[in-house]
Structure 1
Amino acid sequence: MCGANAVIDKPAPTLADLGTPLARGRTAEVYAWEPGWVLKLFLPHFSQSSVEHEADVARKVCATGLRAPAIDQVVTVGGRYGILYERIDGVSLLQILTRRPWRLVPIARLMARLHADMHGRPAPTLPAQRARLIRKIERAAPLFPQLRPKVLATLQQLPDSDCLCHGDFHPDNILETTQGPVIIDWNDATHGHPLADVARTLLLIRFGSAPDGVVWFTAAQAVRWIMRGVYLYNYRRWRSDGNDALRQWLIPITAARLEERIVEEEPHLLAYLERLFDAL
């Protein structure tokens, strides 16, 4: 079910009726709803238009035929906007890796296969990847002023495409379920070039902070190095998208990451960006 984009005021539930959230994030809380569904309830400062935008993106991803959570509709509860998503019961690949680190190689291979399959699906009606990258680079406050025009010039030289791109593809956004793997959290999905999406994944594996309770992954640089290598080797077995351009794509992707203001990453990202330019 891909659902409609109408806002439905469900008369009975209040915030108190929803009970304890199943999960909390930086933008929303997730609550159990009716059987088979969950409510992603956005924090109060999120507007109706921004929530409807995510619902529209989720619907378009669903329409590509890729296995992703189905969407029902937009609702309001307690004056806050939310989206009803299919409830997916599973365990993230990062959680599995935490419990069973010996599964590192098969998990990286699975990520490569899923990503390559995703990139084989056109999604021209999704937002444009290039436009989003430009906005993020222009708003990235930590980016050195002398680097910004160089980053934008590099992006200008890189090719376009209309492939389905996730925008935040990493082990914690892939659930292992009894029906197979399911990719979640599509709010950054775009149509664009696959190598930009690959570059983002490589960057997240290299520098991304792991959730609470996964300290070992944050500290284990060898684990990150192996995962990057296995993932990229196997992705290239499935697809060849002008792999020579991957290093160039890392430049705008790294700069765009700075817009997210994750303070502990910023010095590493800036140093990495300098090294990428030096290697050109």
Structure 2
Amino acid sequence: MTIESGLKKVAEGREAEMFAWEDGKVLRLLRPGFNPATLDAEVRALELAHRNGLPVPRPGERISIDGREGVVLERIEGTDLLTELGRAPWTVFRSARMCGSVHAQMHGCRVDDSGFPELKNRLERHLSSPLVPPALAEIASKRLDSLPGGDALCHGDFHPANVMRAPRGAVVIDWPNATRGAPEADVARTLLLLGAGEPATYTPVMRVLTKTGRSLFIWLYVGSYKRARPLDKAEVRRWALPVAVARLSEDIEQERPRLLSRIEKLRASS
């Protein structure tokens, strides 16, 4: 089988494309050049999450097409919360609360597998990237060394675009960055994405909405999370600096000025 043989693309992201598959499923196919190990990690995380009753697409068989690796997944009918917010900004209240609740549920899942990727190790690799200024990398690494590990299931890229509202409720998608680690680190990453993130797929209207709605969404998200499980906000703040500096390794040009400004504020307050 080849992609040209009739596969219908239904969605796409930076790392992978999604194609309609048989029996109401979808095929997530890595783009050329991306390491298949990321797919292995995603399948492993999905299997773990599914076993623990978390709302995720059920993973299926592995597929290789045109030299590209993929996995068949349960097809989730619905809309991601970021798109929903762009169409109907008044949904911010239920969307933010949904995000907080499901993120807290995720962090209640313990990862006993010692071979599962470690959050601190992944951050350290990002900090060693040539895209990260050495002076900032050194400061962030020192902070990271002082922070604890953990065994909670962490998504690594949890934000409204990766939460879908489906008939069965919230469903969390896009798991290639999953690790085990401290929940506060995963929350710090989410707060960074909500406060400084600027996905390339944003339309001008959605950029305006995010500028006016970021603070409200964050407040609602944190409140919902804390109602579901404890959250040490001081510990989240300690994680904020290494998480923000590590984000520089992702080389997202449109958010870099805001990100650097945020890093300087974090340095000044630490």
Letter in 2 for 1:34: E
Deviations 1:132-181 (A, max 9, x none): 1111111151x332222111111111122111111111111111111111
Q: CA deviation at 1:49?
A: 4.2
Identify the residue that residue 208 of structure 2 maps to in structure 1.
219
**Contact 1:18 1:31 (8 Å CA) reproduced:** no
Letter in 2 for 1:72: G
Identify the residue that residue 197 of structure 2 maps to in structure 1.
208
Counting aligned pairs with the same residue, the percent is 36
Q: CA deviation at 1:213?
A: 5.6
Deviations 1:54-94 (A, max 9, x none): 32333223222211011111111222211111111111111
Gap change, CA 1:241 and 1:213, over 3 Å in 2: closer
TM-score, normalization by structure 1? 0.89
Q: Does 1:121 align with 2:139?
A: no
Q: CA deviation at 1:211?
A: 5.3
Distance in 2 of aligned mates of 1:106 and 1:42: 32
Identify the residue that residue 125 of structure 2 maps to in structure 1.
135
**Contact 1:196 1:246 (8 Å CA) reproduced:** yes
Within 5 A, what are the aligned runs for 1:64-143? Answer: 64-125=52-113, 126-139=116-129, 141=131, 143=132
Larger helix fraction of residues:
2
Q: CA deviation at 1:212?
A: 3.5
Distance in 1 of aligned mates of 2:130 and 2:100: 29
Please state whether the residue corresponding to 1:265 is helix, strand or coil. helix
TM-score, normalization by structure 2? 0.92
Distance in 2 of aligned mates of 1:222 and 1:41: 35
Q: Does 1:234 align with 2:234?
A: no
Gap change, CA 1:209 and 1:55, over 3 Å in 2: same
Gap change, CA 1:21 and 1:235, over 3 Å in 2: same
Q: CA deviation at 1:215?
A: 2.4
| Aligned positions, number | 267
Identify the residue that residue 145 of structure 1 maps to in structure 2.
134
Identify the residue that residue 266 of structure 1 maps to in structure 2.
256
Deviations 1:183-221 (A, max 9, x none): 100111111111111111111111212454642332342
Gap change, CA 1:89 and 1:211, over 3 Å in 2: farther
Letter in 2 for 1:153: K
**Contact 1:55 1:73 (8 Å CA) reproduced:** no
Aligned-pair RMSD on alpha carbons?
Answer: 1.8
**Contact 2:185 2:236 (8 Å CA) reproduced:** yes
**Contact 1:116 1:239 (8 Å CA) reproduced:** yes
Deviations 1:74-115 (A, max 9, x none): 111222211111111111111211121111122111111111
**Contact 2:225 2:231 (8 Å CA) reproduced:** no
Larger CA Rg, structure 1 vs 2: 1
Point out where structure 1 has 5 or more consecutive residues left out of the alignment.
1-12
Q: CA deviation at 1:47?
A: 4.7
**Contact 2:136 2:245 (8 Å CA) reproduced:** no
Letter in 1 for 2:239: W
Distance in 2 of aligned mates of 1:23 and 1:249: 33
Within 5 A, what are the aligned runs for 1:182-193? Answer: 182-193=171-182
**Contact 2:10 2:18 (8 Å CA) reproduced:** yes
**Contact 2:39 2:176 (8 Å CA) reproduced:** no
Letter in 1 for 2:8: T
Distance in 2 of aligned mates of 1:267 and 1:213: 17
Distance in 2 of aligned mates of 1:268 and 1:90: 31
Distance in 2 of aligned mates of 1:271 and 1:210: 18
